[in-house]
Amino acid sequence: MSFKVAIVGATGNVGREMLNILEERGFPVSEVVALASRRSQGTEVSFGDRTLKVRALDQYDFSDTDICIMSAGGNVSKEWSPKIGKQGCVVIDNSSAFRYDQDVPLIVPEVNPDAISLFTRKNIIANPNCSTAQLVVALKPLHDFATIKRVVVATYQSVSGAGKEGMDELFTQTRAVFVADQVDVKKFTKRIAFNVIPHIDVFLDDGFTKEEWKMVAETKKMLDPKIKLTATCVRVPVFIGHSEAVNIEFEKPITADEARDILREAPGCQVLDKREDGGYITPLESAGEDATFISRIREDSTIDNGLSMWIVSDNLRKGAALNAVQIAELLVERGLIQPKKKAA
């Protein structure tokens, strides 16, 4: 059984990673179609050792496509995902357009796989925000053991989370600083090279940013609405890999050793936690990896049942493309999707 899969946003950071991961994991494809805007029509992207010609989204007919992985931003998704879903093609959407819709499941396969069955309501499944995906992978097994009451998280998010323009801006600004050239600020609100910016996405009335709000809303939707969470989201001059300093308060006692043992066994998690120089993960080492890495696990003696830890993952993989492909795999494993075209 194999499926016709379309990738919308195939020329972008996440779209390219999507193509790599579909190929690496041997997802059963009968055909892969690369789609983007008319700007990229006719350009080429790689899928394994094959080259795909990019086609324009607005000229493509989805009626014989089984799965569409959307990775072209919220506005494109709002316009296209419902139309594509109505054509009987299941949409896995990377944007925030449908994440909070009651009729659209928001899925991290290690966390809430059973919620996927809801997808038939709109034929859309949402992929979470990159900073939430890695967080809930680590929180879920700890919540099952000791019930999380409250989480305080500060993120250190790489520029690739802001698309290819974000990566270009870090590169060109860094070069400009070294050659004493003028440093232009376009994509971010302040210079990102040799700086950190405590602002991701738009400001809300309460002073939090939308990125911070997303972490709260998505953790509640996927893990448990009773969990209280507060976040500070910060952009840092790192190309790939989001890091998070996380403080967790539990209902029940849990030691650092217990947490380490639980996380070692948990799906999608890898513990790298030696209390010595270099005995922890950094975003550079997480780039290109599938795991959510957990380091610096320690008890917080300032609260009852408290732990602090450091969580790092490749935002283009677990934070976006890998999770989307895992959702597609879950659809296939559970027999929730059948190819429209039977193999000859």
- List residues forming the annotated binding site: 11-14, 39-40, 99, 157, 160-161, 235, 315
Are 263 and 142 spatial neighbours (Cβ–Cβ below 8 Å)?
yes
Binding residues for phosphate: 99
Given the DSSP bridges, would you call strands 50-53 and 44-47 parallel, antiparallel or unpaired?
antiparallel
The DSSP call for residue 239 is S
- Per-residue binding string, ligand NAP, 3-22, x by CB under 6 A, is -----xxxxxxxx-------
**Residue 160 in the binding site for ligand NAP (CB under 6 A):** yes
Could you tell me which of 291, 240, 237, 229 has the C-alpha nearest to residue 263? 291
Cα 32-36-42 angle, rounded to 5 deg: 80
Q: How far is the CB of 266 from ligand NAP (least distance, A)?
A: 22
CB closest to ligand NAP, residue no: 12
The answer to whether 89 is a known catalytic residue is no
User: Tokens at residue 89, please?
Assistant: 């093609």
**The dihedral sign for the CA sequence 259, 264, 266, 271:** positive
**Residue 57 in the binding site for ligand NAP (CB under 6 A):** yes
The answer to whether 143 is a known catalytic residue is no
Q: How far is the CB of 165 from ligand NAP (least distance, A)?
A: 6
Residue with tokens 């069955």: 117
**Residue 283 in the binding site for ligand NAP (CB under 6 A):** no
What is the rounded radius of gyration, in angstroms, for the C-alpha atoms of the chain? 20
Q: Tell me the helices (H) and strands (E) count for the chain, helix number first.
A: 8, 14
**Residue 316 in the binding site for ligand NAP (CB under 6 A):** yes
Catalytic residue among 130, 143, 233, 269: 130
Catalytic residue among 68, 89, 143, 242: 242
Tell me which of 65, 94, 243, 326 binds ligand NAP, using CB under 6 A: 94
Q: How far is the CB of 140 from ligand NAP (least distance, A)?
A: 19
Element (H, E) at 157: strand 148-157
Active-site residues: which are they?
A: 130, 242
**Positions in the binding site for ligand NAP (CB under 6 A):** 8-15, 36-37, 39-40, 57, 71-74, 76, 94-95, 130, 160-161, 163-165, 315-316, 319-320
